[in-house]
Amino acid sequence: MTDHKKTSIALLAGGKSGEREVSLSGAAIFEKALDPDKFTIKRYDPASDLADLARDSKEIDFAFILLHGLFGEDGSVQGMLDLLDIPYQGSGILGSAVAMDKNLAKILYRLEGIPVADWQVVTSVDENQCEQLAATMGLPLVIKPVRDGSSLG
């Protein structure tokens, strides 16, 4: 029988964003789906475990990023993983940073001919602005932070 080394997976979940609980729930599902005979899994929560991740970096074969929002989807954690020379799934620093900024991403998509819904950036919203937005944009409207996770707003 051949003795194969298990692949060491760093599972990055939790974080400090408003989507922390969604991230932790997803990580639990992901962790259950991996074959323990093939993978060694260690969870790291960027809210508290960055020093541990750096310390363990040489033993990590691959990082799976299950983070949402700032310091998960914005290129920050991708930059740290690049510096630690840990491969990971998903976009790199630039793609993550651009996609995290909804306004910038939509501008770039339009420049490339990719259809996107009309949008308007507002810095604060009061009742009069809501009525004006509804008159200008039509209903229904979705109001979301320009740089936050997908389910907040």
The dihedrals phi and psi of 67, each to the nearest 5 degrees, come to -105, 155
Domain presence at residue 20:
yes
Residue for token pair 């051949």: 2
Please state the domain count of the chain.
Answer: 2
Q: What pLDDT, on a 0 to 100 scale, did the predictor assign at position 57? A: 98
* DSSP character string of 72-119: TTSSHHHHHHHHTT--BSS--HHHHHHHHSHHHHHHHHHHTT------
Q: What pLDDT, on a 0 to 100 scale, did the predictor assign at position 4? A: 73
Cα-Cα end-to-end distance for the chain: 54
Domain presence at residue 67:
yes
Domain check: are 80 and 108 in the same one? no
Domain check: are 72 and 18 in the same one? yes
Classify the C-alpha dihedral 13-19-24-27 as positive or negative: negative
Q: What pLDDT, on a 0 to 100 scale, did the predictor assign at position 143? A: 80
Domain presence at residue 2:
no
Low-confidence ranges of the chain (pLDDT < 50): 1
What does the alpha-carbon distance between residue 123 and residue 111 come to, in Å, rounded to a whole number? 24
Q: What SS3 class is residue 64?
A: strand
Residue for token pair 């363990």: 56
Q: What pLDDT, on a 0 to 100 scale, did the predictor assign at position 141? A: 83
Structural domain boundaries enclosing 146: 102-153
The CATH number of the domain where 19 resides is what? 3.40.50.20
Which residue in 19, 22, 21, 67 sits closest to 44, CA to CA? 67
Domain check: are 107 and 96 in the same one? no
